[in-house]
Amino acid sequence: MCRENAKIAFWGAKPTDHSITNLIVPLELVAFDLWGPSRIQSGGGKLYFMPIIDAGSSYKHGAYLNDKSDVSTIAAFNVFQAKAESLTGRKICDLHTDRAYESAAWGEYCRRHGIIHEFTAPYSSAQNGLAEHAIRTTMDDVRTLLHDSGLPHSYWAEAAAFSVDTHNLIPSRRHPGKVPLESFLGKRQDVSHLRVFGAKCWAKIPTVNGALISGGSKLDNQGVECHFLGYATGRGNYKVQDSASRRVFVSHDVIFEEGLPHHTLPGVGENIPLFNTILDTPLGDNGQSTHHADLDQQQEHVGDHTDDHVDHPIPVVVEPRKST
């Protein structure tokens, strides 16, 4: 085969270079992409998930949209930009997306805010690896969280938001020695508020002027059984759902019952047999271990002669001592 034909026949994709993203500061490079449409609407009627990732810190921001129009995506990005620039004191420099956002509306937005908009090559989604990886890891978490909690698929947006918030407090593969939210804000973060998604909890019913807002008397229950759906804005605020009425609300006074942890090691004083049979011993025709069968036969054989030893003791022969 000639060299020209070999180049054409064995053409491979050129690897993308991600080493530069480890050396930049927050908001120097930001990327986003869109997942959807979901076959099932979220509780709020959303169909699309839009993760926005900061390459300098691996910090993620999740937006949830009704459609994928320029109006919706620009509005969601504008919310992130205002929040991020206010918290960090920096300006977004570069924006990395695929060519689906190569439009006049996005071009005007980037020019107005001084953002350099970079695009991937056609059919080269791997060049936008930050956003692609964020979508993949988040949706893997969504499937796991919904299955573990037993909640229906309509809670996919709550599960995605929970995944984003949790990953912002876990060191990433790109920055293994840093917590994304700490690197993004420049301050240490508290993780004592983290809870299990979908866990059973009890939220206190607020009172106004000594009366419950539910209209009950002072002798009625002071709390309602709920399910934990995520974290709300404000320190120590939780998003919960009333198990009876399905009403979703935010509460600060919540008691969690997260259940027993999943473990594989026995507890103190707990004896859990790992194997009931000897696995390296061949099995007989009836499925019983031949090793145990041999032991049973030996015990029966010994039992047959037990009476003989009792009725007929073995005589002891004493030789006379020789005189010297």
Which CATH number do you get for residue 100? 3.30.420.10
Q: Is the same domain home to 48 and 175?
A: yes
Q: How many domains does the chain have?
A: 2
Among 5-9, 49-53, 144-148, 167-171, which is the least confidently predicted range? 5-9
| Amino acid code (one letter) for 88 | T
Residue 321 lies in a domain: no
* 3-state secondary structure (DSSP) of residue 225: strand
Shared domain check, 209 and 172: no
Task: Give the separation between CA 75 and CA 62, rounded to whole angstroms.
Answer: 13
Rg of the chain over Cα atoms, rounded to whole angstroms, equals 34
| Residue 47 sits in the same domain as residue 145 | yes
**What is the rounded average pLDDT for all residues in the chain?**
80
Classify strands 211-212 and 207-208 as parallel, antiparallel or unpaired.
Answer: antiparallel
- Same domain for 64 and 153, yes or no, is yes
Model confidence over 231-272: pLDDT tens digits?
998 888 999 999 988 989 899 999 998 765 554 455 555 555
Cβ atoms of 18 and 4 closer than 8 Å: no
Asked if residues 31 and 57 have their Cβ atoms less than 8 Å apart, the reply is: no
Please indicate, yes or no, if residue 288 is contained in any of the structural domains. Answer: no
Average pLDDT rounded to a whole number, residues 40-55: 95
96 in a structural domain: yes
Boundary (domain end) residue, out of 257, 276, 298: 257
Residue 191 pLDDT exceeds 70: yes
154: Cα within 13 Å, side-chain hemisphere: 5
What distance in Å separates the CA atoms of residue 72 and residue 106, rounded to the nearest whole number? 11
Question: How far is the C-alpha of 152 from the C-alpha of 167, rounded, in Å?
Answer: 22
Asked if pLDDT for residue 215 goes beyond 80, the answer is no
110 shares its domain with 218: no
Nearest alpha-carbon partner for 36 in 24, 48, 54, 21: 48
Is the same domain home to 230 and 145?
Answer: no
Mean per-residue pLDDT for 56-74? 96
Q: Which two tokens stand for residue 293?
A: 């069968």
This prediction has a pTM of: 0.73
Element (H, E) at 6: helix 3-9
On whether both 180 and 211 belong to a single domain, the answer is no
Kindly state whether residues 50 and 176 are assigned to the same domain.
yes
Task: Please check whether residues 168 and 250 belong to one and the same domain.
Answer: no
CA proximity to 102, closest of 117, 116, 81: 117
| Structural domain ending residue among the three candidates 157, 185, 213 | 185
pLDDT interval class at 314 (50, 70, 90): low
Q: Are residues 178 and 211 in the same domain?
A: no
Strongest mean pLDDT among 125-134, 279-288, 301-310: 125-134
Question: Is 1 part of a structural domain of the chain?
Answer: no
Give me the domain span that covers residue 252: 200-257
Residue 54 located in a structural domain: yes
Tell me if 174 is assigned to some domain.
yes
In this structure, the answer to whether residues 61 and 158 fall within a common structural domain is yes
